[in-house]
Amino acid sequence: MRKIIPASFIFMALFFPLVLMSCAGMTTPAIVNSDQDAVPDNYDNRHDFAKPKYYDKCPQTTPASVPVDKYGCPPDSDGDGVPDYLDKCPNTPSGVKVDKDGCPLDSDRDGVSDYLDKCPDTPAGMKVDQNGCPPPPVVEKAGSIADPCIGKTAKEVFVLLPDRDGKVGQVEVITTAGSQGLNKAWEATNVVGADQKPCESAVMDEKAVRDKFKEALDAEPALPVSFVVYFKSGSSAPIEESKKLIPEIAEAVKSHKAINVFVAGHTDSVASNKYNQKRSEKRAKTISNLLISQGVDKSVIEIGYYGEEKLLIATPDNVNEPGNRRVEVTVR
């Protein structure tokens, strides 16, 4: 009797060797999980073993107990680049620069983060408000200092004055018990004793300061002011234009209450050194006498002469240079 073999059996018989052959040549790569975070270094959900995809983007850095995302990295909720398990400020606003602990930068260390700080350069140790700025100054109507030291006898009063150009620096008043910074025009502090902290500062009224400390302010020396008088070649007489400066110099001496007027004579490089020394001396004495004739006290005048030693404009020898034939007057 002929046996009939079902077609499905034939199909399986033909196909099965192919399956075996295919499986026989197949190699499964080793699965590596360096940090044991449940995400293999080379896991591929397509099972494309010839070209594995490396899903764990943090294979060496995640501690075993830290939960990870599908890429094997610890979560970073605020996206600041510092993972949550290390982030001491996990709710930093987007785009804000942070330090290694994940906290917003605070450049002046006043406790107010840079992105909120409206006064980012506050001096160290100064008290600030929620905006990172020193509290507004207190001005007393009478110009006294509004602080806890009122009622006590101050041994010293410190007032920060602006420069003549309006700029204000800063000073630190220090005792053995502490310090107080001053960085505003007319800001002041009291010192009750060397063993007590300086009082809280306050800004005083300018007029009150000038009235209260008038004697000290009047004694403050004025800034030096300088003038240059030019001369004719080989002459001890100033040129006509420079003669007009003499009354102006005399007025500056009086208004500055000068205690010293230094008159320095110079020449160009024409003629000998000996001749030029004499010429520069004569020029200095000429200007000195002219100032005395304008009412300047001769006791405050000091004369110096340098010949061609200090050329204002550098030249070779024997060069006629009008800019070097001069007398410089400095009023202090």
Query: In which band, very low, low, confident or very high, does the pLDDT at 109 lie, cut at 50, 70 and 90?
Result: confident
204 vs 305, higher pLDDT = 305
Q: Is the distance from CB of 326 to CB of 231 less than 8 angstroms?
A: yes
- 301-305 and 261-266 as β-strands: parallel, antiparallel, unpaired? parallel
The confidence score (pLDDT) of residue 54 equals: 52
- The answer to whether 328 and 226 are in contact (CB under 8 A) is yes
Which pLDDT score is estimated for 143?
Answer: 41
Domains along the chain?
156-218 (no CATH), 225-331 (3.30.1330.60)
- pLDDT tens, 175-202? 888 888 999 998 888 887 788 888 888 8
* Residue 298 vs residue 30, higher pLDDT: 298
What confidence category does residue 37 fall into, taking pLDDT thresholds of 50, 70 and 90?
low
User: What's residue 42's pLDDT?
Assistant: 59
Q: What is the per-residue pLDDT for 33?
A: 59
According to the model, what pLDDT value does residue 61 have? 63
Least confident of 65-79, 98-112, 265-279: 65-79
- The rounded Cα 27 to chain-centroid distance in angstroms is 65
DSSP string, 101-151: TSPBP-TT-SSS-TTT-SSTTPPTT----TTSSPPPPP--TT----STTTT
> Could you tell me if 268 and 227 are in contact, meaning their C-beta atoms sit under 8 angstroms apart?
no
Give strand ranges (E) for the chain.
Answer: 156-160, 171-175, 178-182, 187-191, 202-203, 225-230, 261-266, 301-305, 326-331
Among 234, 263, 232, 248, residue whose Cα is nearest residue 329:
263
321: Cβ contacts below 8 Å, ≥ 6 apart: 268, 269, 311, 313, 315
pLDDT of 210 over the 80 cut: yes
The predicted pLDDT at position 229 comes to 97
Q: Please, what is the average pLDDT of the chain?
A: 79
| Closest to 221 (Cα-Cα) out of 172, 173, 260, 264 | 260
217-245 residue pLDDT tens = 877 777 889 999 999 999 999 999 999 99
Interval 244-303: pLDDT, tens: 999 999 999 998 888 899 999 999 999 999 999 999 999 999 999 999 999 999 999 999
Give the per-residue pLDDT at 11. Answer: 44
Phi, psi of 174 (to 5 degrees): -120, 135
d(CA 189, CA 324): 50
